Amino acid sequence: MVPGHDTGVSHALVKAVGARRQPETLRLHHTGDIVAFGKHDTITPGYERAVEASLERGFTPIERLAGGRAAVFHTGTLAFAWAIPTDDPRTGVTVRFTEITELLMAALHSLGVDAEVGQIPGEYCPGTYSIHADERVKLVGVGQRLVRGAAHVGGVVSVTNGRRIREALGPVYRELGVDWIPSTAGAIDDFVPDVTVDSVRSAVVAAFSERFEVAPAPIPPGIVQLGLELAPAHISRA
């Protein structure tokens, strides 16, 4: 996988949806081991050292589409990218946040997770629309990126091995000067031991299918190629 290609593809999708060359699209995908930095991170003293810290631990540093602070993707997480056409992206920000959290909450509840929406004290990459369990462990982070004619609603569901998130974020946040409580970084398997990334993917698809007409489709070759061209813009460099 070319570094930054995952993010480049999601970027290409929302651009194509905004230009009306692609219908509304939900992308659910695995990633490699990634530390996804937000725009605020890139202008923070210590950013270059944080990039080096992620590389030292085997995580590729990238700059993601949506805002927020650094977050971790790995083989036990499920990334989502929902590209939504809209003539006025700014007017529907809250509605889109509410809708995605409702859908993801329905998916988690179907798996037996007692999850709620809201920021918990000391969470990593804090956000009003984070989804947590037991009022202490963040399971889902979500953000938005607005482009001409469309909105990207994306983020990560932590399914298994929350320890890897803690191990990767510890030195990164230290270099960025970000205060957090490491125990807020966990995974669904802390609460549902037999969960898998595939079972979470299926639950998310089922939740979307209750509200939308959903059909599986491959990513068009043109978008894959555009994703390759956009990838370099999303690679963090020390």
| Residue-wise pLDDT tens digits, 111-144 | 999 999 999 999 999 999 999 999 999 999 999 9
For residues 41-46, give the mean pLDDT: 95
* 8 A C-beta contact, residue 3 and residue 223: no
Please state the φ and ψ torsions of residue 83, each to the nearest 5 degrees.
Answer: -100, 115
Instruction: Identify which has the larger pLDDT, 1 or 132.
Output: 132
Is 80 exceeded by the pLDDT of residue 1?
no
| Residue-wise pLDDT tens digits, 86-103 | 999 999 999 999 999 999
Q: Exposed, middle or buried by CB within 10 Å (0-12, 13-18, 19+), for 213?
A: exposed
- Domains of the chain, earliest start first: 5-223 (3.30.930.10)
